[in-house]
A and B are shown apart, each in its own frame.
Chain A
Amino acid sequence: MIMLFYLAAAIAVIATIAVVLQTNIVHGLLYLILSLLAVAVIFYVLGAPFAAVLEAIVYAGAIMVLFLFVIMMLNLGQHTQNQERTWLTPRGWIVPSIMAAVLLGQLLNVISGIDYEIEPTQVGVMEISALLFGPYVLAVELASILLLAGLVAAYHLAKTK
């Protein structure tokens, strides 16, 4: 079980790095989907199958499909790959990577002191629902109002006069 976790985590990290380094945007998106699915596997291993499946349905299945949908309509080709390649020169990403490395060091420093035990406890759908509609019902309602507002706004923008 713990090996599965580390394997999925390694896949997620490698795939995410590949997303940044990939010049072909479609391939980059595929790596991003792979990373999301690896995260879903991590959720599953940690005992949250509901979160795992929602990760696959919502992120990998819906949002990334819409990303791909937009990419299809952008008419990308060789010239965008060349542009990406010029943007990926060391001069461009050396500063961000130094900053990210500093952050990573801080993170490792913080978590190395604590002794974590991964103990997968199954969290079923019932428990999540009871929490969502019990203590967190206000957050759920607010989120749904936000979504409704977005829906109405999208409908208004898309409506042709």
Chain B
Amino acid sequence: MNLEIGSPLTVGLILFAVIITGALLITVERRLLGFWQERLGPNRVGWFGSLQVVADMIKIFTKEDWIPPFADRFSFVIAPGIIMSVVLLSFAVIPFAPNIGVIDSNIGVLFVLAMASLGAYSVMLGGLSSDNKYALLGSLRAAAQMVSYEVFMGISLLGVVALAGSFNLREIVEAQADGWYIIPQFIGFVIFLIAGVAESHRLPFDIPEAEQEICAGYHTEYSGMKFGMFFVAEYVGLVLISSLITVLFFGGWLGPTFLPPIIWFAIKAFGFIAFFILMRAAVPRPRYDQLMTYGWLFLLPLSLVNLLVTGVIILSTQ
């Protein structure tokens, strides 16, 4: 195989791998959640439930794709497309291995942040155009949550950027050859982890779609393939956040040489995916005001202090 950065074959393979992983995660998550709740999870279709995703796909594809007559059709239709394209675009700057990647951008970190902030539109438009009380409440919560947690997400990354001296994700990975940034940037890592969960609104921070309070939040009125887009985009977003943590704090593809780099990347990323699923199984959802208070009064000062201390140490050692 002759893979290089930006060749059509590489791009196609990355796109395929990401979407397939996102779809397979539906089954993997249900299985793992089952195990962590002393259940077995879906194990009927295929070998140990491996074909459950096919059954889910058939179900989602054949459902009626209904647009409510009271909805704002234009916004309603483009909302799921926005999140899917934004999440997939973010993968363009992720370096999977020395020779696998889409582009080698000097502003990789900022590009991911920009795409994450654009992702808020999907949720907000989906809720607003549905013309439904629960959907509106969900998207109000989503807007406030995503705008707030973008701030800490960005600031927590700046410590890594300062240490590596570059916004280029590929250079950040190469700068970690001497030691992963998890050790000097542990606080940054924790804040990024929390902000990442909030940004992809997964449990425990899934208050935009909290089933028990507001039905399904912003996608209450969605069905069929449009719902499927939201659904798969959530899992692709999970893969994205895990890949980002791997790249920024855990040395990306770096690892002992007995395995190829891409395998190291996959192992690390899957570890974080499993950790996110574990969080879903274990941690209860906070109240909306608790989430906001926690973010602005605890995470924001902490991330600023982290950045300040990092800057002081870098300057004093130079």
Contacts and interface: CB of A to CB of B under 8 A. Distances in A.
Touch between chains A and B, by CB atoms below 8 Å:
yes
Interface of A: 24, 26-27, 30, 33, 49-50, 53-54, 56-57, 60-62, 64-66, 68-69, 71-73, 124-125
Contacts of B273: none
B117 A61 contact: yes
B292 to A, nearest CB: 11
Given A50-B110, A53-B107, A125-B106, A68 B143 contact: yes
Nearest to B105: A49
A66 B147 CA distance: 8
Interface in B123-176: 124-125, 127-129, 136, 139-140, 143-144, 146-147, 150, 154, 167
Contact of A125 (B74, B111, B167): B167
A127 B144 CA distance: 34
Contacts, number: 76
Nearest to A124: B106
What secondary structure prevails in chain B residues at the interface with A?
helix
A26 B121 contact: no
Interface of B: 72, 74-75, 105-107, 110-111, 113-114, 116-118, 120-121, 124-125, 127-129, 136, 139-140, 143-144, 146-147, 150, 154, 167
Nearest to A66: B147
B267 to A, nearest CB: 31
B114 A57 contact: yes
Contacts of B107: 49-50, 53, 125
Contacts of A62: 117, 147, 150
Nearest to B154: A57
Nearest to B72: A26
B75 A30 contact: yes
B143 A65 contact: yes
A127 B192 CA distance: 27
B147 A65 contact: yes
A53 B106 CA distance: 11
Contacts of A27: 74-75
A37 B44 CA distance: 47
Nearest to B151: A62
Contacts of A125: 106-107, 167
Contact of B120 (A24, A61, A71, A72): A61
Contacts of B116: 61
B139 A56 contact: no
Nearest to A76: B128
A26 B75 contact: yes
B106 A65 contact: no
Contacts of B72: 24, 26
Nearest to A53: B110
A130 B196 CA distance: 30
A24 B75 CA distance: 11
